[in-house]
């Protein structure tokens, strides 16, 4: 890889000294090695091996084969000049049964990863749960069961004990909204349920598990830097008929306020609780106090504004495909996803850097106790081929330029952002989309597993080195 830009280079958008630049991945999306080293199964193994759940029947069995290519991948990270690497731990690799006997071989993989990062001057940023719940726990009711909350805290304590001395930056959950609602309300993700009450229960139990895990980890070590990763998104009306304001407020409550209110104010939003009614029976006295433990930082995964239209009242359109209510939001039945905008990524996601800035500023204003922020994910899917050894993904560079400019503007507006992680380091297993959606800075050929840094990887190396966007 070329040496890129020097830190002396003139930049148009500079970030504060000490700003941390990284890239992120998740265990099931890259590791592979599904059968290796004593790893237990997870709900994503079961889901992806169920016919019809994932595009083309793709699975994470091999993925990027990161489990077997650790040294090559560490060298790649160093070559990219990454200052930090955010990864998740496969719970079932270290605790095949979810609790009880530790799988030393699995744990050793993460020891090697952490040591390998530190040897290259890269700060590890661990996520404990990125959706791959051990199947053994799903058999006990998964996060629908309060028992799992305690097993998660035990698992967190184990990781703090084993890795916390060298990797103190630990997030409990990644995007608990997705695991709750995509996994349990609309069935698009593992474990594939369609049950609103289960979804709300899982939303709550993840937060409770977070709070217990924070205590359990702090009991192991008092020098950890603990956080959680949320995926907030502005809910907006677009198109005709307009989405009713009360539905947008409810969506905002479920996607955004539920998490931030609980974590930072110790209360769930009253309007959301009222809307949920008996769906929220899992919330017991004392839970909110446990959830609202002080945090060292909060991770935000930001991609796009959520755009909705109202349902078309024309009876002829009532059952038409584009007129379906948003199933993954319990009790929201009067809106549908807005038509895909002209300006979108391969995921069909709108490109909304102004919304990104507005969202950050809003969180800063609405939550006086918002801890320092890391943008733990941001990125885009584009399918650009490798031609003569080059993957010229100019659309990704354009996208990132706009989002990083918006991020810097939000910081000028007062938001305390300490770092930014590009999603993702590699093209990888994009959940129900299989390997169709390519988010990586590094292209992966899923036949040969050859890694090819894209143009954006070279560009990002320059951003990191210059601590800002090249002028
Ligand atoms: O790939 C996912 C990741 O696992 C969680 N955040 C969003 C990414 C893109 O969909």
pLDDT on residue 11:
57
Q: Give catalytic residues, as residue numbers.
A: 175, 377
* Cα gap 130→174, rounded to integer Å: 5
| Protein residue closest via CA to atom 2 of ligand 1 | 430
Ligand 1 within 6 A of CB of 26: yes
Contact 94, 106 (CB under 8 A): yes
Ligand 1 within 6 A of CB of 175: yes
Ligand 1 within 6 A of CB of 429: no
| Alpha carbon of 86 to ligand 1 centroid (Å) | 13
List CB contacts of 257: < 8 A, sequence separation 6 or more: 269, 272
pLDDT on residue 385:
98
CA atoms within 13 A on the CB side of 237: 15
- Ligand 1 pocket mutation pick from 423, 428, 432, 440 by most atoms within 8 angstroms of CB: 423
> Which residues on neighbouring strands pair with residue 235, listed in sequence order?
306
* Cα gap 285→300, rounded to integer Å: 28
| Alpha-carbon torsion (208, 211, 217, 219), positive or negative | negative
| Protein residue closest via CA to atom 4 of ligand 1 | 26
Instruction: Report the predicted TM-score, pTM, of the whole model to 2 decimal places.
Output: 0.97
| Alpha-carbon torsion (213, 216, 219, 223), positive or negative | negative
How far is C-alpha 269 from the geometric centre of its chain's CA atoms? 23
pLDDT on residue 327:
81
| Alpha carbon of 229 to ligand 1 centroid (Å) | 12
| Alpha carbon of 44 to ligand 1 centroid (Å) | 14
Contact 118, 169 (CB under 8 A): no
* Cα gap 298→471, rounded to integer Å: 30
Kindly report, residue by residue over 191-246, the tens digit of the pLDDT. 999 999 999 999 999 999 999 999 999 999 999 999 999 999 999 999 999 999 99
Q: Which atom of ligand 1 is nearest to the CA of 301?
A: 6
| Alpha carbon of 109 to ligand 1 centroid (Å) | 23
Q: Which atom of ligand 1 is nearest to the CA of 379?
A: 9
* Cα gap 379→381, rounded to integer Å: 7
pLDDT on residue 6:
38
Q: Which atom of ligand 1 is nearest to the CA of 377?
A: 6
Q: Which atom of ligand 1 is nearest to the CA of 231?
A: 6
pLDDT on residue 467:
98
Nearest 5 degrees, angle CA 326-CA 331-CA 336? 20
Q: Which two tokens stand for residue 344?
A: 């979108």
- Ligand 1 pocket mutation pick from 300, 430, 438, 440 by most atoms within 8 angstroms of CB: 430
Residues (pLDDT < 70) of the chain are 1-11
Q: Which atom of ligand 1 is nearest to the CA of 131?
A: 4
Could you tell me whether strands 373-377 and 417-423 are parallel, antiparallel, or unpaired per DSSP bridges? Answer: parallel
Contact 30, 85 (CB under 8 A): no
Print the SS3 string covering the chain.
Answer: CCCCCCCCCCEEEECCCCCEEEEECCHHHHCCCCCCCCCCCEHHHHHHCCCCCCHHHCCCCCCCCCCCCHHHHHHHHHHHCCCEEEEECCHHHHCCCCCCCCCHHHHHHHHHHHHHHHHCCCEEEEEEECCCCEHHHHCCCHHHCHHHHHHHHHHHHHHHHHHCCCCCEEEEEECHHHHHHHHHCCCCCCCCCCCHHHHHHHHHHHHHHHHHHHHHHHHHCCCCEEEEEECCCCEEECCCCECCHHHHHHHHHHHHHHHHHHHHHCCCCHHHHHHHHHHHCCCCCCHHHHHCCCCCCEEEECCCCEEEEECCCCCCCCCCHHHCCCCCCCCCCCEEECCCCCCECCCCCECCHHHHHHHHHHHHHHCCCCCCEEEEECCCCCCCCCECCECCCHHHHHHHHHHHHHHHHHHHCCCCEEEEEEECCECCCCHHHCCCCCCCCEEECCCCCCEEECHHHHHHHHHHHHCEEEC
| Alpha carbon of 430 to ligand 1 centroid (Å) | 7
* Cα gap 322→447, rounded to integer Å: 36
> Which residues on neighbouring strands pair with residue 158, listed in sequence order?
none
Ligand 1 within 6 A of CB of 427: no
| Protein residue closest via CA to atom 9 of ligand 1 | 430
Q: Which atom of ligand 1 is nearest to the CA of 29?
A: 4
Ligand 1 within 6 A of CB of 430: yes
| Alpha carbon of 429 to ligand 1 centroid (Å) | 9
pLDDT on residue 315:
81
Nearest 5 degrees, angle CA 337-CA 339-CA 340? 105
| Alpha carbon of 9 to ligand 1 centroid (Å) | 32
Write down all domains in the chain, each with its CATH number in brackets.
11-305+343-470 (3.20.20.80)
Could you tell me whether strands 306-310 and 335-337 are parallel, antiparallel, or unpaired per DSSP bridges? Answer: antiparallel
């Amino acid at each position: 890889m070329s040496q890129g830009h020097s830190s002396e280079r003139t930049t148009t958008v500079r970030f504060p000294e000490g700003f941390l630049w990284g890239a992120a991945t998740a265990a099931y999306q890259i590791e592979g090695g599904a059968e290796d080293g004593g790893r237990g199964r997870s709900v994503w193994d079961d889901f992806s091996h169920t016919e019809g759940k994932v595009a083309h029947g793709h699975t994470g069995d091999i993925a990027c084969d990161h489990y077997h290519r650790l040294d090559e991948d560490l060298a790649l990270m160093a070559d990219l000049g990454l200052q930090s690497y955010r990864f998740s731990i496969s719970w079932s690799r270290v605790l095949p049964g979810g609790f009880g006997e530790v799988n030393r071989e699995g744990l050793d993989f993460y020891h090697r990863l952490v040591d390998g990062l530190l040897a290259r001057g890269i700060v590890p940023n661990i996520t404990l749960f990125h959706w791959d719940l051990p199947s053994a726990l799903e058999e006990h009711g998964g996060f629908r069961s309060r028992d799992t909350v305690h097993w998660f805290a035990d698992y967190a304590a184990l990781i703090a004990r084993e890795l916390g001395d060298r990797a103190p930056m630990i997030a409990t959950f990644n995007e608990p909204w997705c695991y709750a609602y995509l996994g349990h309300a609309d069935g698009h993700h593992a474990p594939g349920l369609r049950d609103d009450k289960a979804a709300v229960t899982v939303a709550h139990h993840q937060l409770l598990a977070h709070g217990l895990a924070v205590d359990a980890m702090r009991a192991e070590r008092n020098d950890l830097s603990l956080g959680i990763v949320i995926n907030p998104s502005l809910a907006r009306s677009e198109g005709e008929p307009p989405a009713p304001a009360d539905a947008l407020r409810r969506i905002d409550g479920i996607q955004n306020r539920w998490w931030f209110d609980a974590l930072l104010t110790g209360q769930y939003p009253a309007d959301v609780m009222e809307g949920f009614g008996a769906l929220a029976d899992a919330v017991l006295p004392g839970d909110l106090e446990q959830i609202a433990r002080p945090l060292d930082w909060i991770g935000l995964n930001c991609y796009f504004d959520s755009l909705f239209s109202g349902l078309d009242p024309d009876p002829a359109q009532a059952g038409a495909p584009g007129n379906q209510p948003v199933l993954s939001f319990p009790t929201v039945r009067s809106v549908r996803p807005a038509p895909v905008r002209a300006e979108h990524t391969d995921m069909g996601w709108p490109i909304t850097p102004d919304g990104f800035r507005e969202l950050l500023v809003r969180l800063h204003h609405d939550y006086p106790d918002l801890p320092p922020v890391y943008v733990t994910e941001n990125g885009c899917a584009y399918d650009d081929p490798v031609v003569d050894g080059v993957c010229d993904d100019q659309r990704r560079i354009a996208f990132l330029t706009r989002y990083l400019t918006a991020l810097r503007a939000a910081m000028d507006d007062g938001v305390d952002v300490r770092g930014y992680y590009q999603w993702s380091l590699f093209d990888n297993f994009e959940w129900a989309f299989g390997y169709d959606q390519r988010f990586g800075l590094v292209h992966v050929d899923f036949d040969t597993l050859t890694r090819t840094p894209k143009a954006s990887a070279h560009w990002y190396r320059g951003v990191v080195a210059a601590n800002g966007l090249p002028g």
